[in-house]
A and B are shown apart, each in its own frame.
Chain A
Amino acid sequence: MQQFYVFVKKEFYHIFRDKKSLLIIFALPIAQMLIFGFALTNEIKNTEIAILDGAHDEASQALIAQFEASKYFEIKKTITTTAEADMAFKADEIKLALIIPPNFKAELAHSNSARIQILADATDPNTATTLEVYAGAIVRDYQNGITNNYRLPYSITAEIRMLYNPQLKGAYLFVPGVMGMILLLISAMMTSISIVREKELNTMEIILASPLKPIILILSKAVPYMVISLINVSTILIISVTLLDLPIHGSLMLVMGVSFLFITTALSLGLMISNITDSQQTAMFISLMGLMLPTLILSGFMFPIENMPYPMQLLSNIVPTKWFFIIIKDVMIKGLGFASVWKEIAILFGMTLLFLGISWKKFKMRLE
């Protein structure tokens, strides 16, 4: 026990002496939370558009005024030809162009029909679609405005309720995602680097040759990073609740418990990696390429898994972060309880045992 304590202290010394790394370890989750929480959003706001007003009459002015008033759009420039629209799109100045034909008011007044053209820069299809929907809505609003309260018969109204995230905040998905990523980075990568460093410095052999049980060595490497990870989880949750207005709808204990489990999973992954290589650089690269990248891609936090080709969906099942992500999402955002997530928890638990088992076996092999 005394030995364990000594080792853990030593590890903490190592960590605290490296001030720059330490700074990043704690700053990274905070920075990410802030970016995701405040900067990144799927909401459309202040999109720059151009208007081609062919009519210059009261009707067109009124329509344009509605666009001006909208928070979704910002009128960047007025143009006179569609060729100009092309140029503006190409120079990335606008994302949408509204084309009002000449005699707009006259047409509306005399034949009760007029045509408006909306040109969208479809380089980003989703944005284009959303912009078109919003622009269409503004035109429809205008149309309803000039309609003298004549209601079309046989009207169906659809009421929409947005569940769990009525304000359509982007942050909701990101928080569990950031948690998963940070925990993986700290627990897996740093632990593996720390163990490998001993190998590189040749101190590993000395330790192994001593009466110290290897398990103590490993635990002592893991504990500091477990502590740091738990601190990071707490930081993330605090920022989420206080700054981002994203409360924890489910049980906090469950969230912490699952985080603890995932940290263990990540630690065992780190262990596995440290068994494979003797060089710090390699450990780093494997952690990044073999862990982080698949996590980013296949865990479901950045890219929707359901859109992926089937083989990739299958592949995503072996990425532990995917399961962690589902659990946290369900508990934090949907407020679900243990009963709904026990399956995923069991999977994570099983994975952890598997990784630990592999590491242990490899480790014993090396000793022989």
Chain B
Amino acid sequence: MLLVILRKEFQQIRRNPAILRIIFMMPAVQLLILPLAADYEVKNVNLCIVDQDHSTYSQLLFNKLGASDYFIIKDVANSYDEALKTIEKDEADIILTIPPHFEKDLIRESEAKLSLAVNAVNGAKGNIGASYAINIINEYNQEIRKEWFTLPAFNPVPIIDVTYSNWYNEGMSYTLFMVPGILVILLTLVGSFLAALNIVHEKEVGTIEQINVSPIKKYQFILGKLIPFWVIGFIVLTIGLLISRFVYGIIPEGNVGLIYLFAAVYLLALLGIGLLISTIAESQQQAMFISFFFMLIFILMGGLYTSIDSMPYWAQVITRFNPVRYFIEVMRMIVMKDSSISDMRNQLLIIGIMAVVFNTWAVLVYRKRV
């Protein structure tokens, strides 16, 4: 009996051009465009320099900043107020003001000040841009110091030398970070929307009555809806992985099989949610909306856009109920860190429980008789 249902579902899908288009085009489009767009690297910070000193040293600083990969000297202004306009117009991100007598102060008084005004509308960018600037200024400072002052072989002050090692992503590539996450989002969108719309569509059209009057059992009906989408989910995942491999050159460090394993359970959980929505919604528009609402929240709080660690405690608790979070974690763990199955046993367990809970709930809620 289950086979009969599956056959019909696949028949319907085959003949539905819209769905087929979604299955095959969406992964391609999203994966090709999103990672290109989703580049959070802070680079090409636009500087506007206000040089009120016009000395050799200020020129030196100017050159040093200009030579840096991180900065582009967009403009030079005569006063801070002039410079501020460039920030207002979003042409500059940081204003460096070199005060008058800068060089004199540094040589005579042995200390001088610089001021940085940072466009912090985008908090992260402002922060990082500022720290790049400070690094360069410190380097510059050290160079000047060496000119005037020979540091004795024996350090008069304790100096701690800090070395930084970036693990798992030496190239500090943002693509490596984003693409697996985007793949998860993709899978989530396709799966949940399709699942949510499906049962409601039958409700709207009326065929669901026929089914309710037949001897078919509830779980058979739900399974019949679940399995085709599961299959579609895998196809989308495979397309996604292929694109990651051949377009972005991302080869998972870990076991690809693990990705499929986790995806299998994840899809079940997701589809369970979709089906649940589908049984509750009265129209396709409602199903779409409710689905959209939850998916948006899940995706935003999934850890792709901002890290979960920085969220306030109550928000972190909420994310514990967010399946997307777990998959994104696992996806990154497998792709970038070669994590093993025992590393992800917590996530697997939680998603497994979600899958069972949501699907059972959907079966229970679905009533043939009202």
Contacts and interface: CB of A to CB of B under 8 A. Distances in A.
A and B in contact, CB less than 8 Å: yes
Interface of A: 18, 20-21, 24-25, 27-28, 31-32, 35-36, 38-48, 86, 89-92, 95, 108, 111-130, 132-133, 135-136, 139-140, 142-143, 146-147, 150, 152-166, 168-170, 172-173, 193, 280-282, 284-285, 288-289, 293, 297-298, 302-304, 306-309, 312, 326, 329-330, 333-334, 336, 340
Contacts of A334: 88, 121
Given A42-B124, A118-B163, A159-B116, 9 more contacts: A20-B286, A39-B318, A40-B301, A46-B309, A117-B165, A153-B149, A157-B112, A288-B292, A289-B26
20 contacts: A35-B315, A39-B301, A39-B318, A43-B310, A46-B310, A89-B168, A90-B333, A108-B158, A115-B160, A125-B169, A128-B166, A139-B160, A153-B110, A154-B145, A156-B113, A157-B113, A162-B130, A164-B119, A281-B18, A308-B37
B158 A146 contact: yes
Top 8 A-B residue pairs of the complex, sorted by shortest distance between their CB atoms: A39-B315, A112-B155, A122-B166, A168-B123, A122-B169, A162-B120, A42-B124, A125-B172
Given A43-B310, A122-B172, A142-B160, A157 B114 contact: yes
B163 A172 contact: no
B285 A119 contact: no
A95 to B, nearest CB: 7
Nearest to B22: A285
A326 to B, nearest CB: 8
A153 B261 CA distance: 61
B354 interface: no
Interface string B1-44: 00000000000000000100010001000100110111111111
Contact of A120 (B18, B106, B166, B282): B166
B120 A122 contact: no
A21 B120 CA distance: 37
Given A45-B310, A160-B116, A130 B128 contact: yes
Contacts of A330: 88
A20 B120 contact: no
Given A36-B300, A91-B339, A158 B114 contact: yes
A274 B355 CA distance: 38
A215 B161 CA distance: 74
Nearest to A48: B309
Contact of B336 (A123, A130, A164, A340): A123
B165 to A, nearest CB: 5
Interface stretch (B131-139, B206-214, B230-238, B268-276): B131-139
A182 B242 CA distance: 34
B351 interface: no
B117 interface: yes
A325 B137 CA distance: 34
Contacts of A280: 284-285
B69 interface: no
B286 A21 contact: yes
Contact of A136 (B162, B280, B337): B162
B190 to A, nearest CB: 11
B246 interface: no
A304 B40 contact: yes
Contacts of B56: none
Kindly name the residue among A127, A154, A165 whose own CB sees the greatest number of chain B CB atoms within 10 A: A154
Interface stretch (B173-181, B220-228, B362-370): B173-181
A172 B126 CA distance: 13
B164 A307 contact: no
B337 A89 contact: yes
A150 B156 contact: yes
A308 B41 CA distance: 10
A260 B122 CA distance: 26
Contacts of A21: 283, 285-286, 289
Contact of B315 (A20, A38, A289): A38
Contact of B174 (A86, A125, A152, A285): A125
A119 B165 contact: yes
Contacts of B116: 158-161
A171 to B, nearest CB: 9
A42 B310 contact: yes
Given A163-B118, A282-B18, A303-B39, A91 B343 contact: yes
B127 interface: yes
A112 B285 contact: no
